[in-house]
A and B are shown apart, each in its own frame.
Chain A
């Protein structure tokens, strides 16, 4: 039962992070490709910092930082606050990784596609949404599946700020009951979840197989 609650927390962190980091990653990707140099430089520095430091460290700074600088903990001391802080840290981290993948996906589309849209009198946003976007999605599914699977397992880092996620629950269960098997069940949960995701990604790839 304890483990199932932990799994709920894992789900929550996982889904919320995805919901926020996917669009944010896309915005960052478009930002790095912007002709406005200060913006693209700023984002590149951000990506460098986020990719250059451990996610666990970022999580600690985001959770404890405000309390130390502002004098009060903006996240609140309860479980919900811990989860929110985790989602914020994860969203920033994953958006940065996603942005690099998205940029690769967009830059891999031949320039002729955009030009064909231009000579047909399309606006920049029409070209992006009607032509570029789906071709990009098709290109980024394999690398994205890697990142998203990593995210599933990274949710276990939330225990560092004492959020009661799956691994944490399994660990405390093991200690209190003096049994090892809760940890094996914990592993099994991750495996099953990643298995379902893998099937989902295969399905998406198949669905996008109708064009090349």
Chain B
């Protein structure tokens, strides 16, 4: 069964239609890359999945549970919305780390807040907090940042900040981790270290959706690729196929700019 099924998503801002009849599905443990020029709707699609935007039409189903269905007018009270959002993790283009917290605190914050809602929180407070601390440290270590735990975001390089952001997104063990152009704000050297981390996650079969402009990376790391243009999914298929033998004229046109170097 598909872990994520997106059906007929439409989204408009005023009179501009940003997403037009977008449907796709993905399997657990696979990586999906979304490519396309700026303004093609890639980011909006990710934001719809994370409920930062509400689609005007269509449905989103995760693990068989329909999280959103425009035709049924799903009620969106905060409690339910929060639960739904936890299915997805999000890594932003501009990192969005919380500046007043250290790297480790950034990673632990959401988990600490969620733990307060556990019925046994008051009895086992100490053990729970220690567990969260250990988990946070382990995540940063996985990102190669064990030396940077107590640094504040402004003391870290862009690449390090983005790796903290990835650890923060992983902390709540989302079903699907979304990356919104994770390296677009980084120079080539820092891009490399972030892509390496994402590649590592792919090797561990993390279910991921990656919006990216790094074509070679998308080809090597993603299982499937979706090419979007003007709000439509123009082409989708096996990563290597789409990049090396695109079928649609528009895809060829878009990719030619990259292969020409």
Residues of A within 8 A of B (CB): 110, 112-113, 115-116, 118-124, 126, 130-131, 134-135, 138, 210-212
Q: Which of B52, B99, B152 contacts A119 (CB 8 A)?
A: B52
Given A121-B83, A130-B113, A210-B152, list of 14 further CB < 8 A pairs?
A110-B94, A110-B96, A113-B96, A113-B98, A115-B90, A119-B50, A119-B90, A120-B109, A121-B110, A121-B172, A123-B78, A126-B113, A131-B98, A212-B153
Please tell me if B92 contacts chain A, counting CB pairs below 8 Å.
Answer: yes
Please tell me if B133 contacts chain A, counting CB pairs below 8 Å.
Answer: no
Do residues A123 and B82 form an inter-chain contact, with CB atoms below 8 A? yes
| Chain B neighbourhood of A138, CB < 8 A | 100
How far does the alpha carbon of A60 sit from the alpha carbon of B114 in the complex, in Å?
A: 51
| Chain B neighbourhood of A123, CB < 8 A | 78, 82
Report the minimal beta-carbon distance from B94 to chain A, rounded to whole angstroms: 6
| Residues of B in contact with A, size category | 20 to 34
How far does the alpha carbon of A130 sit from the alpha carbon of B98 in the complex, in Å?
A: 9
| Chain A neighbourhood of B96, CB < 8 A | 110, 112-113, 115-116
Please tell me if B125 contacts chain A, counting CB pairs below 8 Å.
Answer: no
Do residues B153 and A119 form an inter-chain contact, with CB atoms below 8 A? no
Report the minimal beta-carbon distance from B172 to chain A, rounded to whole angstroms: 7
Report the minimal beta-carbon distance from A211 to chain B, rounded to whole angstroms: 4
| Chain B neighbourhood of A116, CB < 8 A | 90, 92, 96-98
| Chain B neighbourhood of A119, CB < 8 A | 50, 52, 85, 88-90, 169
- Asked, given contacts A135-B100, A211-B99, A211-B154, whether A115 binds B113 with beta carbons under 8 Å apart, the answer is no
How far does the alpha carbon of A112 sit from the alpha carbon of B93 in the complex, in Å?
A: 10
- Asked, given contacts A116-B96, A135-B100, whether A122 binds B50 with beta carbons under 8 Å apart, the answer is no
Do residues A120 and B154 form an inter-chain contact, with CB atoms below 8 A? no
Report the minimal beta-carbon distance from A104 to chain B, rounded to whole angstroms: 18
Please tell me if B168 contacts chain A, counting CB pairs below 8 Å.
Answer: yes
- Asked, given contacts A121-B85, A122-B110, A130-B113, whether A115 binds B92 with beta carbons under 8 Å apart, the answer is yes
How far does the alpha carbon of A158 sit from the alpha carbon of B245 in the complex, in Å?
A: 81
Please tell me if B186 contacts chain A, counting CB pairs below 8 Å.
Answer: no
Please tell me if B129 contacts chain A, counting CB pairs below 8 Å.
Answer: no
B residues 85-129 near A (Cβ < 8 Å) are 85-86, 88-90, 92, 94, 96-101, 109-110, 113-114
Do residues B100 and A120 form an inter-chain contact, with CB atoms below 8 A? no
